Amino acid sequence: MGLSPERIAIEIVGWTGAALILIAYLLLSAGRLTGQSRVYQWLNVAGAAAFVLNSGWNGAIPSATLNVIWMGIGLFTLWRIRQGMA
């Protein structure tokens, strides 16, 4: 019994999300990006969105909820950057 195509796609989405968030953190920690960088925030938003899909599919509601909030923080920060408030 193998994995369905849907299951494989959801796993790819989840691992991609993990990679995006880890890359964002690595670049921040290495001083290549700042917390107010659009790139940093978009990496986090995209990574969190992927985790929401993966977590929701797997029924991990606490993880999905955390990542909806994580995404919201990133989008709010991007809005502040755009408004010149960050």
The per-residue pLDDT for range 6-40, each reduced to its tens digit, is 999 999 999 999 999 999 999 999 999 999 999 99
Element (H, E) at 9: helix 5-29
pLDDT digits (tens, 9 = 90+) for 35-86: 999 999 999 999 999 999 999 999 999 999 999 999 999 999 999 999 998 6
What's the pLDDT score for residue 67?
A: 98
What's the pLDDT score for residue 1?
A: 67
* Band of residue 2 on the pLDDT scale cut at 50, 70, 90: confident
**Listed residue (16, 17, 22, 14) closest to 57, CA to CA:** 14
Q: How far is it, in rounded angstroms, from Cα 33 to Cα 36? A: 8
